[in-house]
């Protein structure tokens, strides 16, 4: 995700994810393998694909920057999103989103 020329862009901090990233964790409570992404991904790597159980959004916020993250059950951001995270939001477990992610995208809201 590029922030060049974004003006008043700022990082959103979360305890479990580095600034500027979306993180998906293999197990609940932010444990196990972690997948970090600074941009959208149409197909998650095998280590996290349909193995996600907790999530954190530490993305960049600012005018015109897509800062919300939606996780999808199919590759290429297809299907109804399983979870949508506002900037700075973390979710340690959500039963209906558990082990459901295969791709994600950054947006201007849910």
The pLDDT tens digits of the residues spanning 71-102 come to: 999 999 999 999 999 999 999 999 999 999 99
With the C-alpha atoms ordered 36, 77, 14, 109, is the resulting torsion angle positive or negative?
A: positive
Q: For the domain made up of 11-107, give the CATH fold.
A: Gamma-B Crystallin; domain 1 (2.60.20)
The answer to whether the predicted template modeling score (pTM) of the entire model surpasses 0.85 is yes
Q: What is the pLDDT of residue 10?
A: 65
50: alpha, beta or left? (left if phi > 0; alpha if psi -120 to 50)? left
Q: Which residues pair with 85 in a beta bridge?
A: 69
Confidence of residue 1 (pLDDT cuts 50, 70, 90): very low
**Domain coordinates in residue numbering, the chain:** 11-107
Q: Please choose, from the candidates 48, 60, 50, 65, the residue with its C-alpha nearest in 3D space to the C-alpha of residue 22.
A: 60
Q: Which residues have C-beta within 8 Å of that of residue 110, sequence separation ≥ 6? A: 68, 70, 81, 84, 86
pLDDT tens figures, 30-68: 999 999 999 999 999 999 999 999 999 999 999 999 999
């Amino acid at each position: 995700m590029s922030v060049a020329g974004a003006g008043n862009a700022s990082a959103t901090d979360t305890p479990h994810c580095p600034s500027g990233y979306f993180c998906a964790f293999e197990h609940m409570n932010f444990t196990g393998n972690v997948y970090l992404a600074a941009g959208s991904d149409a197909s998650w790597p095998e280590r996290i694909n349909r193995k996600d159980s907790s999530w954190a959004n530490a993305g960049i916020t600012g005018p015109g920057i897509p800062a919300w993250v939606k996780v999808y059950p199919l590759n290429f951001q297809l299907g109804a999103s399983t979870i949508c995270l506002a900037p700075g939001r973390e979710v340690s477990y959500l039963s209906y989103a558990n082990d459901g992610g295969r791709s994600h995208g950054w947006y201007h809201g849910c």
